[in-house]
Amino acid sequence: MRDLLMNAASAAPARLAPAALAGVLLLTGCGSAVRSTTSESEPAESVTIENCGRDVVVDDVPGAVVGMHPAQTELLLRLGLADHLAGQAQTGAQALPDDVAGLAADVPVIGDVMPPSREDLLAVEPDFVYSPTTYEFTAEQGFASIDQLDQAGAAVYVATGGCAERRMGGEVTDLFTDLENIGTIFGVEGAAADLIAQSQADLDEVEAAVAAVEPLRVAQVYVDGTTLQAIGAGIEYDILSRAGADNVYRPDQAAFADFFAATVTPESLAAEEPDALVFSVYDEAHETATREYLETTFPDMPAVREGRLIAVSSSDVFPGTLGNVAIVRQIAEGLYPDAF
């Protein structure tokens, strides 16, 4: 179950159990420019990057890359690496942003809303696989394991925030670590630095805008049917903090000592009287159902009375995406519209 929680993008369309769906917390592009060059400089003959507690060794610039989720495929495209792609996976989980979608039109699709099978992934003969989480390499699910890919000659890189040991303490800026590492591996340090600079500028703009606001108490929840989950740790917590929220649920609370999400009762949430509720959704029907549940269950809650119900797209809180940056501004504008 813990592995399933690490793969929100695959879990949401399949409507997994509420605990698994709590990990779902579509990627919004930041409008970043796409580099037309595929390589700015030749990297060292051999590059070694530490990733998820292991060494990723790349002896040459990868030329047959698979983006294991549209979020990772987008980053590769924005770094000017379209010609290096041998496959794109989980394309049914979300669409690529319009400004880069055409660059991937001829890239083979492997897998739909789920990660590709071992056979389908190995069939494109990748030499580098870039994934959002470690779940995509769960052999028990029929996926190629990291060891199997290593034996096939493919290096594996997992988004920093998607590493199991990082899930509880992830931050938006974990993305910058990924961009630096991918830039080094492919010799596109300049393009990576540009994306980092633009993303940091976006975060700085929000920080300045909310610096003088009186923080609202905000609870982040996930609703599946009538099951209510609270989110109190991980990158979700960091996103709300950067948006200027006073988090109702925090990592130092007992409920979130071991995991970033916990089932709560409607009564306990109502007792907190949050000024705003942030909730993640994976499609329009899910948003409609969640809003109806919250408005019906908590009519007297300040968040409902004041109309501060902020829906965010599920993949925007998925580790290692540009959406991690975009969602900070989206939430901040929803909380403090007069500050922008």
Report d(CA 67, CA 130) in Å as an integer: 5
Q: Model's pTM, two decimal places?
A: 0.85
C-alpha angle with apex 122: 119 to 125, nearest 5 degrees?
A: 150
Report d(CA 197, CA 310) in Å as an integer: 27
Q: Name the helix (H) or strand (E) containing 280.
A: strand 276-281
Q: Name the helix (H) or strand (E) containing 54.
A: strand 54-58
pLDDT tens track, the chain, 340 positions: 333 344 443 344 333 333 333 334 333 334 455 544 444 555 557 999 999 999 999 999 999 999 999 999 999 999 999 999 999 999 988 889 999 999 999 999 998 889 999 999 999 999 999 999 999 999 999 999 999 999 999 999 999 999 989 989 999 999 999 999 999 999 999 999 999 999 999 999 999 999 999 999 999 999 999 999 999 999 999 999 999 999 999 999 999 999 999 999 999 999 999 999 999 998 899 999 999 999 999 999 999 999 999 999 988 888 899 999 999 999 999 999 999 9
- Give Dmax over CA atoms of the chain in angstroms: 63
* 3-state secondary structure at position 28: coil
Q: What share of the chain is helix, strand, coil (3-state, %, to 5)?
A: 45, 15, 35
Report d(CA 154, CA 227) in Å as an integer: 41
Report d(CA 149, CA 312) in Å as an integer: 34
Q: Name the helix (H) or strand (E) containing 207.
A: helix 189-210
Exposure b/e, 114-128, CB count within 10 A at least 16 = b: bbbebebbbebebbb
